[in-house]
Amino acid sequence: MPRWIFITYWWGHQMANLESNFLGIKSPNPFWLASAPPTDKEYNVRRAFEAGWGGVVWKTLGEEGPPVVNVNGPRYGAIYGADRRLMGLNNIELITDRSLEVNLDEITRVKKDYPNHAVIVSIMVPCEEAAWKAILPRVEATGADGIELNFGCPHGMSERGMGAAVGQVPEYIEMVTRWCKQYYSKPVIVKLTPNITDVRQPAAAAKRGGADAVSLINTINSIVSVNLDTMSPEPSIDGKGTHGGYCGPAVKPIAMSMVSEIARFPETKGLPISGIGGVTTWRDAAEFMSLGCGNVQVCTAAMTYGFKIVQEMISGLSEWMDEKGHANIEDFVGQAIPNTTDWQYLNLNYIAKAVINQDDCIKCGRCYAACEDTSHQAISMSEDRVFEVIDGECVACNLCVNVCPVENCITMVEMLTGATDPRTGKVVEPEYANWTTHPNNPSATAAE
């Protein structure tokens, strides 16, 4: 029995249904493997499905002809957190280097054997109508559930006028998307590059071209390290390096911000989104989905820990949904969008103070060093290492919370209406009041 079925069975009391229906494409759960090395071939994809993944986006196919050539040296680089936890990965690998025919045959076989799992085919061919017209019927013939247009790959292919070179020109996106809708009958997902100033423009272009959804983010231009002995960027090929595509936990905040921009932009509001970028745990997935993603795609977590990691995502999301009373994933998709706003609309009458739980404090003093050296001198330190917040100085910046090694030892506590903020001497007011009406705002004054 596949492990994911076993887990579902084991959590027999659960109410949550993880089934995903994205653009009419059904999958047992919203966890898809992104187009990348894990989905390069039949062997991997079959094992991924057996391990519990709900769907895959097959690693990008190119046009008919001599296969793509990859470097024969290192193609990945990484940055690490404590204990060599991989926080960011970059790669200089290109699209599939196996022949189109082999890939299409394998896709056909896999889809036939896994009718209830999502199989999406990623495609990248030259920006010419004939090239798309040639490949799309062959992809359609595989029985795959949809296609994803790779407009994001930032290295190698972009130098040949594909990948990010298309994704950075909204007009091209619109044009190619239109061709795809013309020559292909199933859902078309446009994958967006983050290497652009305003991600809303390519998303809007995709929508104008008829895209059923966008997926984001593709990888970010990056140099992860420089070898200080050879003075070569890494990964280094014979003493030379180039920028690669950056992904992994470190890019999640960038990806979520871009997702939220598309989810809030009037021209693209409601356009389905497949969230990509550093999803490593069930919590990451739930966060992306709360910002409007119908599902998520994962790559680096699987490349770091193997396919098994999906089991934690499944059990974790189930448990959280049960706890929150969400019966289906649609119940919470997009729930955080209404609470995502612009700075000017934040309530300036909301006042909080840091509170240190002395029972949990391990007396490392990092909150003190951070506040004393780099913030507001709002934490005192006694001779016996008791650290206390000075409410009269605390602006509730949260830095102490962020640097504290003990989770929930320091918290931000809201001051109640009517209390006096010892820092400003002002009474906390009940009314919401933001910058647009603030007396210090010249525009606000002019508007009155």
**What minimum distance in Å lies between the beta carbon of 364 and another protein?**
4
Give the C-alpha separation, 154 to 222, whole Å: 9
Distance CA 249, CA 251 (A): 6
According to the binding rule CB under 8 A, does residue 229 interact with another protein?
A: no
Residue 107 or 354: the one with the smaller Cβ distance to another protein is 354
Query: Between residues 114 and 387, which has the closer beta carbon with respect to another protein?
Result: 387
Question: Are the C-beta atoms of 95 and 153 separated by less than 8 Å?
Answer: yes
CB of 14 to another protein, least distance (A): 33
Q: How many CB atoms are closer than 10 A to CB 372?
A: 15
CB 193 within 8 A of CB 218: yes
- Comparing CB distances to another protein, the nearer of 13 and 84 is 84
By CB under 8 A, residue 358 contacts another protein? no
CB of 363 to another protein, least distance (A): 6
DSSP E strands in 156-266: the ranges are 188-191, 213-216, 220-222, 225-227, 232-234, 244-247
Cβ 443 to another protein shortest distance, Å:
42
Residue span binding another protein (CB under 8 A) among the ranges 78-86, 181-189, 247-255, 320-328: 78-86
Nearer to another protein, 406 or 433 (CB): 406
Q: How many CB atoms lie within 10 A of CB 134?
A: 14
Positive or negative, the CA dihedral 40, 43, 45, 47 is: negative
Residue 299 annotated in active site: no
Contact status: 82 vs another protein (CB under 8 A): yes
- At 6, the amino acid letter reads F
| N-terminal to C-terminal alpha carbon distance within the chain | 68
CB of 365 to another protein, least distance (A): 3
* 369, 397, 428, 444: which one binds another protein (CB under 8 A): 369
Residue from 319, 365, 390, 398 binding another protein (CB under 8 A): 365
Among 65, 239, 266, 405, indicate the residue that binds another protein (CB under 8 A).
405
When asked if residue 134 is in the footprint of another protein (CB under 8 A), the reply is no
80 pairs with which residues across the strands?
86
Residue 406 is a binding residue for another protein (CB under 8 A): yes
Q: Looking at beta carbons only, is 223 or 381 nearer to another protein?
A: 381
CA 362 to chain centroid? 34
Instruction: Using CB under 8 A, pick the residue from 109, 366, 376, 423 that binds another protein.
Output: 366
Question: 200-204: long-range contacts (C-beta < 8 A, 24 or more apart)?
Answer: 200/261, 200/262, 200/265, 200/267, 200/268, 201/170, 202/151, 202/167, 202/168, 202/170, 202/173, 203/262, 203/265, 203/268, 203/271, 204/170, 204/265, 204/267, 204/268
Nearer to another protein, 369 or 444 (CB): 369
Under the binding rule (CB under 8 A), the answer on residue 83 touching another protein is: yes
Is residue 382 a contact residue for another protein (CB under 8 A)? no
Write the Ramachandran bin of 20: left for phi over 0, alpha for psi from -120 to 50, otherwise beta: beta
CA distance 152 to 124: 10
Q: Considering only residues 9, 12, 84, 446, which one is a binding residue for another protein as defined by CB under 8 A?
A: 84
Beta carbon of residue 384, minimum distance to another protein (angstroms, whole number): 10
- In 94-162, DSSP assigns E strands to 118-123, 146-150
Write down the least CB distance from residue 226 to another protein, Å.
14
Q: Are 213 and 182 in contact (CB under 8 A)?
A: no
What are all long-range contacts of 403-407, with beta carbons under 8 Å and residues at least 24 apart?
403/366, 403/367, 403/370, 404/366, 404/367, 405/362, 405/364, 405/366, 406/360, 406/361, 406/362
| Span from 115-123, 211-219, 363-371, 422-430 in contact with another protein (CB under 8 A) | 363-371
Rounded least distance, CB 223 to another protein, Å: 19
- Strand 146-150 and strand 118-123: the pairing is parallel
Among the candidate windows 81-89, 177-185, 199-207, 280-288, which touches another protein by CB under 8 A?
A: 81-89
Catalytic residue among 127, 153, 394, 409: 153
- Each residue 303-332 as x (binds another protein by CB under 8 A) or -, in order, gives ------------------------------
Residues that bind another protein (CB under 8 A): 82-84, 362-366, 368-369, 381, 385, 405-406
- Which positions are catalytic? 153
